[in-house]
Amino acid sequence: MSRFFALVALFVVASNAATIPHQPSRPEALAPEQRATLDEALAQLLENIRELLRTGDPERGIPVMAPLQTDRLDVDLSLGGLLDFTAILRNLFVDGLDRFQGTLTLNVMQMEFRYDFLFPDVIARGHYDANGRLFGLIPVFGLGNFHVAPRDLRIQGTALLRQLPSGYLHMPELKANVRLGSLQNNIEGMLLGGELSDLLNVVIQDLIPSVLINFAPEVTDIISRVGIPIADSVLNTMTLEDLFALIPMQQ
């Protein structure tokens, strides 16, 4: 998931390359015809991003994410005292990230990008080894195979882009609001398996959508802490001209 949010940050950066060849010292409001051209460029950029998810870009460290396959992914989450959780995911397979519906807009005056992505049907499966505590007291652990299918996962937010004195790029702020329509899950081996595991599967299925609402600030903080450093590891090596080369635009 951290790779996904990092790529969302890159979505926003790439839109700047698609529309503004040189960052103005004093951004001005766009005329209506310029606004229309900008919106068209951003819409085309989303289609370019869809293809980028399918092909990746090894030179920029962007992996293929449609589908996403990785031998190991380490997860470390803390949600405001509700859940402290660490896990190792092996043989992870995620499908559906390229089937997004989305919009991307730019406030030229503030250099602020607003994004809204809906993922109708994502599927993730693999093997997990997890350990954690619920409410700081109740142990939650497990080992086994898992299959989860979030439906109507919506991620909205804003991101700021700035240019460093060196000419390279930087993302100082990334905000996200995450909502989930429903969740289907089959996670084997929780709490030693059996009826307790079945019960916890039902609890997770009902709990996760409400957690994303009730703990929205904590979710945003996780996204910011994880996404910005990963995005900057790429952005700090790129100029606007580099981004033009990365994202081909129609003339």
- pLDDT higher than 60, residue 8: no
Look up the pTM and report it: 0.78
pLDDT score for 166? 92
Consecutive H or E run containing 162: strand 138-163
Q: pLDDT exceeding 90 applies to what percent of the chain?
A: 38
pLDDT tier, 107 (very low <50, low <70, confident <90, very high otherwise): confident
Per-residue pLDDT, 21? 36
Q: Give the model's pLDDT for residue 116.
A: 95
- Domain map (residue ranges) of the chain: 67-244
Question: Does 250 score more than 80 pLDDT?
Answer: no
Q: Is the pLDDT of residue 195 over 60?
A: yes
Pull the structure tokens for residue 245: 């080369």
pLDDT confidence tier of residue 248, bands split at 50, 70 and 90: very low
**CATH, range 67-244:** 3.15.10
